């Protein structure tokens, strides 16, 4: 792996059977939800390196959750596991019958993080929410979130409800990865400039392999607050269907009487989605503008990329 890569250590922890490896496989290994049933339990720690946006590499440690392994993490492997951690993701099975033990292990993780990586960001995923009756989900998640925030002090934790069967998994992981992108504010500034120059209603930037949303800008309010994650899910499934036919997904245009949506390869590590509602702007003009912006955004992906904003001349 290139020595210029910026590595970020991510710990994925939680009791055995909580769903850690399933979610990792869906996000990073192109599994679909039903195929995760054949995954076995993680033994000790599985390491994987995921290249994300060029120079950023996620050093993902998927830690097996059996009691023996968990005890070892806090004793003989403590320094190795918890040193230099950027992000701790702790997964809770919402229907666990050993909630007290789950909370005990979580607190032990926090103590080790405070000792070895006090600046790490902490995320808790209350997982398998699809198993909870729909009318109870808000109440149960809120109660669990309050408990976890209280237990996490003095550290701050961000909680998400997740399921491998809907868009919530993409929402959580997009939010987590967003925290790790080194030049995300610069990226968002340039995306906003791009959207305003081409008179787009909305522009989204997706990471190419995972199709996680890493940045967006909207000029008009949209009704569906879950649209990003739904699009990620739909397009990733479509990409997988293409690959089964030995075809590769390149681009897509969807048009109706209200808007036109363009999804296209943008940089070597991203796709872009552009939403246009002005019927006077032809498709060809939007596609040319996307092509003209590519080189600039390629430079932005480098950690040492340009510090100037996008002031391109668009057609």
Confidence of residue 56 (pLDDT cuts 50, 70, 90): confident
Do 202 and 276 sit in the same domain of this protein?
Answer: yes
pLDDT of residue 310 exceeding 80: no
Report the predicted TM-score, pTM, of the whole model to 2 decimal places. 0.81
Domain count, the chain: 2
Do 105 and 42 sit in the same domain of this protein?
Answer: yes
Domain boundary among 179, 199, 225: 179
pLDDT of residue 213 exceeding 80: yes
Do 132 and 240 sit in the same domain of this protein?
Answer: no
Cis geometry, peptide bond prior to residue 167 (ω within 30 degrees of 0): no
Domain boundary among 131, 146, 179: 179
Q: Would you mind telling me the total number of residues written for the chain in this entry? A: 315
pLDDT value for 211: 85
The dihedral region occupied by 17, where left means phi > 0, alpha psi between -120 and 50, and beta the remainder, is left
Residues in contact with 31: Cβ distance below 8 Å, sequence separation at least 6, in sequence order: 22, 25, 39
Do 295 and 203 sit in the same domain of this protein?
Answer: yes
pLDDT of residue 257 exceeding 70: yes
Q: How does pLDDT run across 163-200, given as a tens digit for each residue?
A: 988 888 888 988 898 888 877 888 889 999 999 999 99
Interval 243-271 mean pLDDT = 86
| CA–CA separation, 103 and 15 (whole Å) | 10
Do 125 and 93 sit in the same domain of this protein?
Answer: yes
pLDDT value for 114: 93
The boundaries of the domain holding residue 103 are 6-179
Q: What is the domain-level CATH number for residue 289?
A: 3.30.450.190
Q: Is residue 315 part of a domain?
A: no
Do 171 and 208 sit in the same domain of this protein?
Answer: no
Neighbouring CB atoms inside 10 A of 295's CB total: 10
The beta strands (E) that lie in the chain are given as 6-13, 45-52, 56-63, 87-93, 121-127, 157-161, 202-207, 213-218, 251-255, 260-267, 270-276
* Structure tokens, 84: 């230099």
Q: Is residue 269 part of a domain?
A: yes
Domain boundary among 149, 179, 209: 179
Interval 137-164 mean pLDDT = 92
Do 169 and 230 sit in the same domain of this protein?
Answer: no
Q: What is the domain-level CATH number for residue 162?
A: 3.40.50.300
């Amino acid at each position: 792996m290139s020595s210029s890569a910026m590595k970020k250590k991510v710990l994925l922890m939680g009791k055995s059977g909580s769903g850690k490896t399933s979610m990792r496989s869906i996000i990073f290994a192109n599994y679909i939800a039903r195929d995760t049933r054949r995954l076995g339990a993680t033994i000790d720690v599985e390491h994987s390196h995921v290249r994300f946006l060029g120079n950023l590499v996620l050093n993902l440690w998927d830690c097996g959750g059996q009691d023996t392994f968990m005890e070892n993490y806090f004793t003989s492997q403590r320094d190795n596991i918890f040193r230099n951690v950027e992000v701790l993701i702790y997964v809770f099975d919402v229907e666990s019958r050993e909630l007290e033990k789950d909370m005990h292990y979580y607190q032990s993780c926090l103590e080790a993080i405070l000792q070895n990586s006090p600046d790490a960001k902490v995320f808790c995923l209350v997982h398998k929410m699809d198993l909870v009756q729909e009318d109870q989900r808000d109440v149960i998640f809120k109660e669990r979130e309050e408990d976890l925030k209280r237990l996490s002090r003095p550290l701050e934790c961000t909680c998400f409800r997740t399921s491998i069967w809907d868009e919530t998994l993409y929402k959580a992981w997009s939010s987590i990865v967003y925290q790790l992108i080194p030049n995300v504010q610069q990226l968002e500034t340039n995306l906003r400039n791009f959207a305003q120059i081409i008179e787009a209603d909305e522009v989204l930037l997706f990471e190419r392999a995972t199709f996680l949303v890493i940045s967006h800008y909207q000029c008009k309010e949209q009704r569906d607050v879950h649209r990003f994650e739904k699009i990620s899910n739909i397009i990733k499934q479509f990409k997988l269907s293409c690959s089964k036919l030995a075809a590769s997904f390149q681009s897509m245009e969807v048009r109706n009487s209200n808007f036109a949506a363009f999804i296209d390869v943008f940089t070597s590590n991203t796709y872009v989605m552009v939403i246009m509602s002005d019927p006077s702007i032809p498709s060809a003009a939007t596609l040319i503008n996307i092509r003209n912006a590519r080189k600039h955004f390629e430079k932005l992906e480098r950690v040492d990329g340009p510090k100037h904003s996008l002031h391109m001349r668009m057609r």
